[in-house]
Amino acid sequence: MRRALQWLVCVAALTAPLAAQTQAPVQPAPAQPAAALQAWVEAFNTRDPKRIVALYAPDAVFWGTTATTIATTPESIWVYFKDAGQRPWTRVTIDAQHERIVGGLAIVSGAYTFSDVRDGVATNVRPARFTFVFRRDGDRWLVVDHHSSRVPEP
């Protein structure tokens, strides 16, 4: 009986680490991608193309709201935003966002509104919808895919 008890204790001691390995490891929650979206909004609203483009990963794909072609290189993303400073009154605001984290990616879809703001008054209001896919890069999220399109007229 004593030998059987020793055997059970030994088996339990040897299999406990194995049982612990089969459970999903607890990982700290990543920084919220909503902050990455807000960083994009703030960069866009500065109208500084360098700040905007710096938020995109080198392998990012971007289908801009007014683009006629998809941008698949840092240079083509730069071309889309390079004249942002020529429209210093254009702003974007987030109307709705829905966030999901899937593995090392974060997907944020929603609606935003572009407008021209002069003397605190929004004119030329242009509602649009978006999907951003962010990939974790150290302590921040970079845009790896961004699609934006105008909301169709009713």
Instruction: Classify residue 143: in a domain, yes or no.
Output: yes
Instruction: Classify residue 20: in a domain, yes or no.
Output: no
Half-sphere exposure of 131 (CA within 13 A, CB side): 8
Instruction: Classify residue 3: in a domain, yes or no.
Output: no
Instruction: Classify residue 9: in a domain, yes or no.
Output: no
Instruction: Classify residue 123: in a domain, yes or no.
Output: yes
Q: What share of the chain is helix, strand, coil (3-state, %, to 5)?
A: 35, 40, 25
- Residue written as token pair 């001691």: 13
- For residue 122, the domain's CATH number is 3.10.450.50
Instruction: Classify residue 103: in a domain, yes or no.
Output: yes
Instruction: Classify residue 6: in a domain, yes or no.
Output: no
* Neighbouring-strand partners of residue 91: 115
H or E element in which residue 33 lies: helix 33-46
The answer to whether the CB of 109 falls within 8 A of the CB of 134 is no
CA 90 to chain centre: 22
Count structural domains, the chain.
1
Instruction: Classify residue 24: in a domain, yes or no.
Output: no
What are the pLDDT tens digits along the chain (154 aa)? 445 434 433 434 433 443 444 444 433 334 688 999 999 999 999 999 999 999 999 999 999 999 999 999 999 999 999 999 999 999 999 999 999 999 889 999 999 999 999 888 889 999 999 999 999 998 889 999 999 999 998 8
Range of the domain at 62: 31-150
